[in-house]
A and B are shown apart, each in its own frame.
Chain A
Amino acid sequence: MARPSRHPRGDRRGPAAVTKVPARSLLTDPDRPLRQGRYRSPLRDERLAAWLGAGVGVLFGACFLTGLFSHLHQNPVTWLPVPARPAGLYRITQGLHVASGIASLPVLLAKLWVVWPRLLSFPPFRHVSDVVERLGILVLVGGGIFMVFSGVANIALWYPWPFSFRAAHFWMAWVTIGALVSHVGARWTTSRRALGGWGRAGASPPRERPRPALAEADPALGTAAEGVHDGLSRRGFLLTVGAATGALTAVTVGQTVPALSPLALLAPRDPRDRPVNRTAAMAGVQAGDVAAGYVFSVEGRVERPLRLTLDELVDLPSHEARLPIACVEGWSYSAPWSGVRLRDLLVLAGAPEGAEVRVESLEQEGAFRTSFVNRAQAQDRDTLLATHLDGDVLSLDHGFPLRLIGPDRPGVNQTKWVTRLVVE
């Protein structure tokens, strides 16, 4: 039931003039217990909550879908092979994944700020559906905070936890998106009403519709929103959150968008440096490992197993391709690579048509010391075992003497210090 507004629209009284509220409201109005009648905010607004919720939903949805695509790249399945083209697809999807994850930081915090008084709603449960909804919100809040925190910490190379980031981030993504689905369904009707019925046939745009009585729309959010104040308005708050999101994006997205690189002052990488994620020292690969004794081999299901020295490899026909290195952490850059085509080596070794390949590194340990090249990728004209970057011999940190580079692959699958191909 709608409670009458204590402050008619247009009343410009300051905080000191706010009317004392009845003691009963301290229990039933979640804005009251901490405000004690001295301060009122217009931000506990269902419409604002709906807009911010829509923002979180879109950003989390984009993160989830692009994250699944990345997971598929790193954990290939035979029934859904990833495509080899377009060459920059993974660069775009993973850039979007990280950018939307970063962008969700201010939007998620703003959303939690707008709705947090619900935590104090009394009584907390009236129906079984309230219990289900509140449990879902608990999971959503915990999952959302975890996903954003762990993602931001990961790109800053900070791991203040004892578990695998990849596994925890992946499974918690399912938990979080499930809670989001549940929450969207629970708030669908009130959110659509709050947003002015967009999507409904014949509905007017929100600005032209009269705002519903907020207390009627949602008692937990209503009454305080009717007050007048000197702080940010709902629109001002929304615009500010949008500006904060834009600013955060502007100073980070240059790690994958070359035109914005000079602005990327808070990005964890600068693509102009040609960054690497794992140095030779970190991988335990020494210069001595790749010196005179280096041998490259092609084995497995082949008619003519190959064993080649580096000089013999360099003497094979070389091909150049401009391809991106696109890291799972969201940074990327394109560069001209040159080396031997993988498909030429497969022909030389007599591999069967449609062969798939496992690429192995000199690296002795690590989750990415091998990578998988599917049929489409193996046959792509630009999938190379590169010896040169930018016309220069690869540096040890970039994978000297030989690294895999192919279109539409995450950086962790562009195996460095390659020593063996196993045809499967």
Chain B
Amino acid sequence: MTPTYSISEEIARWTVEVYFKQHAALGWWLAFTNPTAGPWKKIVAQDEGGFNAEIYRFQREEERPDLVLVNDELKLILLVEAKDFVEKLVTADQMEKSIRVIKEMNKVFLSIQHIGWGERAKYRVVSSFLWVCQDIRSMLIEDKEVRKVFQKTVTKTEPVLNIIVTKDEADNLFPNFIYDGQRITNPNEIPTLSLHR
């Protein structure tokens, strides 16, 4: 028997990782994830054979994003900040921290000299927020709230991809993707042309 679970940031983030594992055809691969511990405090890059090489290692006290996903075909990097629920994402302190991480990571991506990273330094970075919404009917309201606080804090207009985890009829968790206020089927529907650096 499976024990019952309660929602957490770990479960939210992992649900999204599972989605990308199961939708490999979309072309996204995981460059970094931030569970509490383990051999994952480094950013990796895939070579042509699909093998991962370490290209950047975070310092112990360095602030880290929660997920970094890369799509070589679309030349996109998703930089994801996660929390269990929206309330925690939109506090002033948390949003400032998220934006600090986004800015720092943009610099890191540009500065990585490793041959395995190569052209990826020029990919467009899309800021993304991830959380769980208990009531799917509130999803778009929560999306709007996050975008509003983000835009206010970042003080410029920048589209974000929100990934909102909800439950389906069979009680399965799955991610919904909302780009710039519009629900999209998957992250490959992000309009890439307008986003290139």
Partners in one complex: no
Binding site for A on B (CB under 8 A): none
Chain A contact residues, CB within 8 Å of chain B: none
